[in-house]
Amino acid sequence: MASSLTTAQEKIIKAELLELLANLREDVGHELQDQQGERVHQAMKEAHDMGDEASADLESTINLVNMSRHLHEIKECQDALQRLTSGEYGLCVSCGEEIELNRLKANPVSSRCLSCQSKEEQHPDVHHASL
């Protein structure tokens, strides 16, 4: 089954995905710079207390969590662009049915229809166990 997106819709979605991908890559770059800056700042401090250390550890953890989230979103963008190139964009990866256009407009990286996404969120272990 092929997606019913028009060429114009595909171009718009591709542009949105490329812009999102560029923004996410920039965010990861900032996170990396923040991590490096924090390390240098900590190394330069001659005397620091446990509170400063705990605060720095928390900030570092937050940066890592943000970076991990951004990297996951980058992968979703790349996967969506691949589906767009292969002609599978807009089709649910689980059931093969068409994903609603409004869903794709709201979240262009969507890979599942609303029904399959709901099932995935209710039983995430089932999907991952089969991989």
Q: How far is CA 124 from CA 25, 41, 117, in A?
A: 27, 40, 10
Q: What is the pLDDT of residue 65?
A: 87
Q: What is the pLDDT of residue 113?
A: 96
- The rounded distance, in Å, linking the Cα atoms of 21 and 14 is 10
Q: What is the pLDDT of residue 102?
A: 94
pTM of the full structure: 0.73
CA 128 distance to own-chain centroid = 17
Q: Which residues of the chain have pLDDT under 50?
A: 46-47, 129-131
Contact 83, 72 (CB under 8 A): no
Enter the tokens of residue 39.
């390390």
Q: What is the pLDDT of residue 46?
A: 46
- The rounded distance, in Å, linking the Cα atoms of 2 and 104 is 15
